[in-house]
Amino acid sequence: MDIRLATDKDRTVWDAYVLGHEDGLAYHQYAWKEAVAAAYHFKARYLVAEKTGDICGVLPMIDFKRPLGGHSFVSLPYCDQGGCLADDPDIATALMVRARALADADNVESIELRQVGRQNGTQLGRQDDCDYQSVEGQKVRMILDLPTSSSLLLAGLKSKLRSQIRKPARDGLVAVLGGLELVPEFYQIFSENMRALGSPVHSRKWIESIVKYYAMRARVGLVYTPEGEPAAGGVILLHGKSVSIPWASSLRKFNKLNPNMLLYWNFLAFAADQGFGRFDFGRSTPGEGTYRFKAQWGARPVALDWRRIGHQGVKKLASTQKSELRGQAENIWKHLPLALCNTCGPLLRRYVSL
């Protein structure tokens, strides 16, 4: 078996392997690497394992350097999932051993893995070869198994939820799906919502790069009010078997119109009608509002498996609990002018790997 660094010439075979793997997700696709490089200029360490010229495992990592210290290989930043995909545990182990060697050679402090759940097949290998510590914390990803059509999906929902889905359309709201042409209006919603949450926003260049490099495997969704104002929006990424939604936002001033319900229904109906078997709603904390919103569609929680592997053993990741200092920072951010947030936010967000 040979393990080497992938190059852009490997894009097609890399994606073919990821799209065919049981645990593969949209984030594993080569487009994530290209978008990171275009928008945030981080280098990649994408490892390929081959036997007789055929790919038998991959490990995508981004070389994540922070300006005030901290140097990690992250698999993968800005999303919930990444990690190894391999034909068997021994190949996954070999990929991790090579990743550790690269980290040592580059004086990298740690490797951060957001591994796809082990219950689905791929494992990182034997613990004596690759020490790790689970850092799942309270976070889970919410997964919905989809029927073969939107009509079956709708029929399986509770009557109250069906009414909540239909009401926005009856009230004149309109949902659309598109591509790069919808990014400006989505970003308008996204940036305003992130300011309201007290969180620095990603750069518009990042969203544009994702939609550009994923091409037909990305869709931007928008919901408009009867007056034509954008009220809610999101981005979905398509894998061979699943659809993931990394970002969705709605404007609070339109909450009474429930644009978020129509937005998600439009995404779910598209996924079911296009033959995707799963919809990944992304990360949530059990019991919180976003968790309940996703659970009402029938989504089930799957524990996130996040680990940090250091030079000389295990380094535990920080707690997912919000600190008092972070709460104060969020409160200050909420009251800054939107233009300032949109200028300064991306400069900070680039160095936040979550």
Pairwise CA distance, residues 207 & 251, whole Å:
18
Looking at residue 222, its pLDDT comes to: 98
Domains along the chain with CATH numbers: 2-135+305-319 (3.40.630.30), 142-303 (3.40.630.30)
Pairwise CA distance, residues 60 & 169, whole Å:
41
Pairing relationship of beta strands 110-115 and 71-75 according to DSSP bridges: parallel
Pairwise CA distance, residues 160 & 166, whole Å:
10
Tokens found for residue 278: 């799963």
Tokens found for residue 252: 């609070």
Looking at residue 287, its pLDDT comes to: 87
CA 30, chain centre distance (Å): 14
Instruction: Say if residues 60 and 73 touch (Cβ distance below 8 Å).
Output: no
Looking at residue 136, its pLDDT comes to: 41
Q: Which residues contact 288 (CB under 8 A, 6 or more apart)?
A: none
Q: Which residues contact 332 (CB under 8 A, 6 or more apart)?
A: 198
Looking at residue 27, its pLDDT comes to: 97
Pairwise CA distance, residues 81 & 75, whole Å:
7
Task: Point out which residues pair with 248 in neighbouring strands.
Answer: 234
CA atoms within 13 A on the CB side of 77: 30
Q: Along the chain (354 residues), what's the average pLDDT of each consecutive run of 10 residues?
A: 96 97 95 98 97 96 89 95 94 94 92 69 39 52 96 96 96 98 98 95 98 98 98 97 96 96 98 97 91 96 86 48 74 92 94 92
Looking at residue 2, its pLDDT comes to: 96
CA atoms within 13 A on the CB side of 5: 12
